[in-house]
C-alpha cells in the first residue's frame, strides 16, 4: 500500500516549483535586521539599502562630487557585493563577519588584507557575550539588538524615514516569491533604469511621469528626485501598500527635489483607470486630468517575462500615448534571460524575443495621428547604484510623436 504524505500546514513555509529569486538579493545581503515584518498575506518582508555612489566621497576615481551628477565619468562598475547596510566593502558600516584593513604590497599599491590576530590566525568577531555575564574575562563586546518583527498594521516607517541620509535608498521587498508576486522583489532592470533616470536629469526634471508595473517603487522614488509628479502604478492591494511604505521610507529624497509620488492602481488588462473611491489606490478625476494633460514620460522595468502580460503592456503604452495631450517618451528596461527549454532542446530567450517582436510591431503601427520611433539606449552611462550591470541588461526608448 502506498501511504500519502501528510498535507502541509497552512502556515508552513514551502517553496513551490515556480519560486523565483532575484539575483539582486544575492549581491545586497543584509546580515543585520534582515527581516522586518510580515505582510498582509503572511510573506516575510526584508529591508535592503542601496547607496547612491554619486554622493559618496570614497569612490574618488568616479570623478563625482556630492550633489553634482554631471561630473561623473564612466568607469568600471564597483564590486557588486555590499555590506549589511548597502555600503561598499571596506566601509565602516555593518560587516560583522570579518573586518578588512588597507595594507601595502611590494609595488606600493594599497591592497585589502584580512585582519589577523597575534598568532597570525584570522581574527573573527565572536558572538557577543550574554548580558548576564557580570564579570567578563576580557573586553566587552557589542550586544546584538535584533529588529522586532512587526505586523502589517504597525507603523514602523515614521521615525526611520526622518533620519535617512540623502545618499541611501531603503527598499522593503520580499524574496523567493511565486511568479505572480515577482513585483515584490528588486530586479536589476529597475536599478539600470534608476541609473538612467539619474543620468538624464534633463529629461525628467519638472515633468509628470508614470511608471507601469512599479513593483517595489524603486524607479519611481528615483524619478521623484527630479520630476514634479510621479504616478507609481501596479496592481494588487498588498503590492501597492508595499510601494506606499517604500515611498514613505524615502520621502526625504522626493522632498529634496520637490517631487510627489502617487501610488495608483493601473491594470494593463483594462481600458480605463479605476475611479471607484471604495477601491484602494483608485484615481480621482483630478489626477486623471493631470496625467493626461501633463505627462510626458512613461517608464517600466522588468515587466516583460510573460508573453500575455507583455502584449498588455504594449497595448497600455499605445493607449496612454494616444490619450496624452503632449508627445511622450517611454523608457523600457529589460533583462535578456537565457533558458534551456525541452521544447527547443536549446538555450532560448522566448520572453525577450517576444518583447522584441512587440517593439517591431509598435514601430510599424500607424494608428491615428501618432507614430512610434524605437531605438536602443547604449548602456554606457555611469553606474550610480551598487549592482551587477551585466550585458544582458538593455534599455529601449520609444518616442511617440505626431504624424506629419
* pLDDT value at residue 95: 32
Q: Let me know: does 330 contact 400? Beta carbons within 8 Å.
A: yes
Q: What is the dihedral of CA 272, 218, 46, 243, to 10 degrees?
A: -30
Domains and CATH numbers, the chain: 180-402 (3.40.50.150)
Q: Strand pairing partners for 331?
A: 299, 397
* Tally of CB atoms within 10 A around 293: 11
Which cell goes with 266? 493601473
Walk along the chain (404 residues) in steps of 10 and give the mean pLDDT of each run: 44 51 65 70 85 53 36 38 35 30 34 52 53 52 42 45 69 87 93 96 96 97 96 96 95 84 97 94 97 98 95 96 95 88 70 96 85 95 90 96 82
Could you give the CA distance from residue 90 to residue 291 in angstroms, rounded to a whole number?
A: 45
183 alpha-carbon distance from chain centroid: 10
* pLDDT value at residue 320: 96
* pLDDT value at residue 388: 87
Q: Strand pairing partners for 51?
A: 168
363-395 burial: b if 16+ Cβ within 10 Å, else e: eeeeeeebbbebeebebebbbbbbbbeeeebbb
* Tally of CB atoms within 10 A around 210: 27
* pLDDT value at residue 367: 73
Using a cut of 0.85, tell me whether the model's pTM lies above it.
no
* pLDDT value at residue 15: 39
* pLDDT value at residue 131: 46
Cα four-point dihedral sign 161, 206, 203, 63: negative
Q: Let me know: does 177 contact 13? Beta carbons within 8 Å.
A: no
Cell 539588538 belongs to: 145
* pLDDT value at residue 137: 55
DSSP tag of 351: H
Cα Rg, the chain, nearest whole Å: 24
Could you give the CA distance from residue 118 to residue 143 in angstroms, rounded to a whole number?
A: 24
Q: Let me know: does 47 contact 30? Beta carbons within 8 Å.
A: yes
Q: Give the 3-state secondary structure percentages of the chain, helix then strand then coil, rounded to 5.
A: 25, 25, 50
* pLDDT value at residue 5: 45
Amino acid at each position: 500500500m502506498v501511504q500519502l504524505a501528510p498535507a502541509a500546514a497552512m502556515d508552513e513555509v514551502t517553496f513551490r516549483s515556480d519560486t523565483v529569486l532575484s539575483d539582486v538579493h544575492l549581491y545586497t545581503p543584509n546580515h543585520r535586521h534582515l527581516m522586518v515584518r510580515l505582510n498582509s498575506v503572511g510573506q516575510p518582508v526584508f529591508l535592503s539599502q542601496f547607496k547612491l555612489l554619486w554622493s559618496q566621497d570614497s569612490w574618488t576615481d568616479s570623478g563625482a562630487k556630492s550633489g553634482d551628477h554631471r561630473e561623473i565619468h564612466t568607469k568600471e562598475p564597483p564590486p557588486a557585493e555590499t555590506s549589511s547596510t548597502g555600503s561598499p566593502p571596506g566601509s565602516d558600516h555593518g560587516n560583522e563577519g570579518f573586518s578588512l584593513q588597507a595594507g601595502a604590497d611590494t609595488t606600493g599599491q594599497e591592497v585589502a588584507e584580512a585582519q589577523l590576530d597575534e598568532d597570525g590566525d584570522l581574527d573573527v568577531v565572536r558572538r557577543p557575550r550574554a548580558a548576564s555575564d557580570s564579570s567578563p574575562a576580557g573586553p566587552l563586546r557589542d550586544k546584538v539588538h535584533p529588529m522586532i518583527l512587526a505586523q502589517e498594521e504597525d507603523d514602523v516607517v515614521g521615525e526611520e524615514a526622518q533620519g535617512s541620509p540623502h545618499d541611501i535608498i531603503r527598499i522593503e521587498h520580499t524574496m523567493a516569491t511565486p511568479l505572480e508576486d515577482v513585483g515584490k522583489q528588486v530586479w536589476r532592470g529597475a536599478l539600470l533604469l534608476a541609473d538612467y533616470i539619474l543620468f538624464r536629469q534633463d529629461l525628467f526634471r519638472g515633468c509628470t511621469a508614470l511608471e507601469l508595473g512599479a513593483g517595489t517603487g524603486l524607479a519611481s522614488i528615483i524619478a521623484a528626485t527630479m520630476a514634479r509628479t510621479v504616478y507609481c502604478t501596479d496592481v494588487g492591494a498588498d503590492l501597492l501598500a508595499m510601494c506606499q511604505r517604500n515611498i514613505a521610507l524615502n520621502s526625504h529624497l522626493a522632498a529634496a527635489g520637490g517631487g510627489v509620488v502617487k501610488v495608483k492602481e493601473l491594470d494593463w488588462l483594462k481600458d480605463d483607470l479605476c475611479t471607484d473611491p471604495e477601491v484602494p489606490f483608485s484615481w480621482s478625476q483630478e489626477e486623471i486630468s493631470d496625467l493626461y494633460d501633463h505627462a510626458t514620460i512613461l517608464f517600466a522595468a522588468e515587466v516583460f517575462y510573460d508573453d500575455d502580460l507583455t502584449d498588455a503592456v504594449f497595448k497600455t503604452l499605445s493607449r496612454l500615448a494616444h490619450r496624452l495631450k503632449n508627445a511622450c517618451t517611454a523608457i523600457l528596461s529589460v533583462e535578456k534571460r537565457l533558458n534551456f527549454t525541452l521544447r527547443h532542446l536549446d538555450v532560448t530567450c522566448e520572453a525577450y524575443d517576444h518583447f522584441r517582436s512587440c517593439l517591431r510591431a509598435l514601430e510599424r503601427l500607424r494608428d491615428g495621428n501618432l507614430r512610434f520611433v524605437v531605438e536602443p539606449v547604449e548602456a554606457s552611462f555611469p553606474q550610480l547604484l551598487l549592482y551587477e550591470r551585466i550585458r544582458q541588461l538593455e534599455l529601449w526608448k520609444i518616442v511617440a510623436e505626431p504624424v506629419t
